[in-house]
Structure 1
C-alpha cells in the first residue's frame, strides 16, 4: 500500500503557510494596503483636490468680473457690483462696525431656531418611529404642514410674537423641524428590532431601551437631519430678517439697497455665502465625528 504524505516545505507538497497567506481575507488586506499608498500619495490627492477647488473659485471670480466689467452691459447698477467695488463695500461695512454685529445676531437667531427645532423634532421623530399607530394618525398632518413655506407664517409670527428676535427664531424653527423629525423617524424605523427584543429580554425598562438602545442607534440619522435642517434654516433666515427687524444680515441687505449701495449688497451676500459654507463644513465634521463613535 502506498501512503500519501504531504509536506509543509517547498519541495514536499503544498505549502499550508502559503495557502493561509493567500486566503481571501489576506488578499483583500494586501490590496487595501497597496491601494492606500503612502503619505506622499495622500498629500498629492489632497493638494489636487484643493487645487481643483481653487480653480473653480477663480473661474467663478472671472465670470463675475466679466459680467460686471461693462463688456456685457453698461448698467451702472451692475457695474457697481463688480469684485473691486464689492471689496470696497465690504471695507465700508467693516469700518462702520455693523457687519460683525449683524453677523453675530444672525448666527444667534440661527442657533436658537435650530435648538428649538431639535428639542421638538427629535422627540417627535422618536415617537413617530416607535409608534406605528401614531405615524398612521399624524403622518398626513406632518406631510401637509411641511409643504407649507415657512415664510408664509411670517404675518402670523409677527402678530403673535411682535417685532424682534422671536418671530425670526420661530420661522427658522418652522423650517428646520421637518428634516430633523423625518430623519429621526426614518432612523428608528430602519433600526434592527432585534436590539429592542434583546434589551426587553434582559429586563431593560422603557427609558433604558430609549436612552441606551434607540438613541445611540439613530444618532447618525439625527445628526444627518440636523445638517439638512441647518442648510434649510440658513436659507430661510435671511429673508426672515427682512420682515420687521432692524438687525441681521437680511436687514443689512435691505438697508444697503435703500441707500443704493449695491456694492455693500454684494458684500453682505458674499458674507452670507462664506458663513453658510463654514457652517456646512463644521456640521460635516461633527457628523463624521458623531457617526464614528
Structure 2
C-alpha cells in the first residue's frame, strides 16, 4: 500500500531541526571553550582564584542562587524597572513618532534636535536623574525611558512615512473620522515598524539597566552582580551574567514572534 507523504511538512521539520542543530552546535562550541578556559585558570597558580569563572562552578551556582531566591528576586526587580521604563518610552515615543511622520513642519523642527539628544549616552543623564528624582528607582526608570524612547520615535515616524498618502485620501473620501483614521489605518499600517522599534528599544534598555542598577539600589540583577563581585563570589557573578543573557534572549524572541505576525506587508523579519 502506498502512503502519501507531505513534502512540505518534512521540509518544515528539516528546517526546524536544522535551526536547532546549528544553535546547539554553537552553544556546544562556546561551552567547550569555556570549559577549557576554566581548566586553564584552575591549573595556573597565578589565576586559580578566578577559576570560579569556569563553566562547572557557574552551573553549580545556579541551584544555589535559585534556592536562595536571589535569581527570582533580582529578575523581578529588574523586570519592573525595565517594564516601567519601556512603557513610558512607548507612551511618549509613539505619539511623537506619529506627529513626525504625518506633519512635515513638526518633523523639520524636531528631527535634528532629537538626533542630537539621541547621541548622548543615557548614563550621562545619571547626575540629573539623581537630582530630579527622590528615589533611585525613579532615576533608573528615567534612564531606561531616555535610552529607549528614541528607537520608538524614529521607527514609528519611518513607518508612517512609508504609508501611501492615497490611503488617507481614500479614507477621507469614505468619510472616515480622525479616530477611525488612527485606529483603522495608521495603527495597523505602522504596527510592524513600532514593534521593530520596541525591539531595538528593549535591547538598549536591557544594556542600560544593569549598569544603572550599580548605583544606589539594593535589588535587581545589576546590584546582584555588584554584590557578587564585592564578596568574590565569581561563580555567582558569572551565573547572574548568564541569567541576564537568557532573559534578554527570551524577551527578544518574544518580540520577534510578535513582529512576524505583522511582517506580511514588510517582507519578513
The normalised TM-score by structure 1 is 0.84
How far 1:134 sits from its partner (Å)? 0.5
Aligned to 2:160: 188
DSSP 3-state at the match of 1:38: helix
Q: What whole-Å deviation, never above 9, does each CA across 1:208-263 have from its counterpart, x for those lacking one?
A: 32222222211111111111111111111111111111100000000000001111
Give the drift of 1:292.
Answer: 5.2
**Structure-to-structure mapping, 1:153-192, within 5 angstroms:** 153-192=125-164
Instruction: Report the TM-score when normalising by structure 2.
Output: 0.91
Does structure 1 residue 69 correspond to structure 2 residue 39?
A: yes
Q: In the alignment, what sits opposite 2:220? A: 248
SS in 2 for 1:57: helix
Task: Indicate the residue corresponding to 2:99 in structure 1.
Answer: 127
**Correspondence list, 1:20-99, <5 A:** 37-70=7-40, 73-74=44-45, 75-99=47-71
Q: Which has the larger radius of gyration?
A: 1
**How far does residue 154 in structure 1 lie from its aligned partner after superposition?**
1.2
Structure 2 unaligned spans of 5+: 1-5
Extract unaligned runs of 5+ from structure 1.
Answer: 1-35
Measured at CA, do residues 98 and 207 of structure 1 come closer, stay the same or move farther in structure 2, by a change above 3 Å?
A: same
| 1:89 Cα deviation after fit | 2.2
| Per-residue deviation, 1:195 | 0.5
2:3 aligned residue: none
Structure 2 partner of 1:262? 234
Q: 1:223 aligned to 2:177? A: no
The count of corresponding residues between Structure 1 and Structure 2 is 258
How far apart are residue 68 of structure 1 and its match? 1.8
SS at match of 2:39: coil
Calculate the aligned-residue CA RMSD, in Å. Answer: 1.7
Contact 1:77/1:262, CA 8 A, preserved across alignment: no
**Alpha-carbon separation, structure 1, partners of 2:11 and 2:262:** 28
After superposition, give the CA deviation of every residue in 1:53-90 in whole Å (9 maximum; x if it has no partner).
Answer: 10110000111111121269541243121111112222
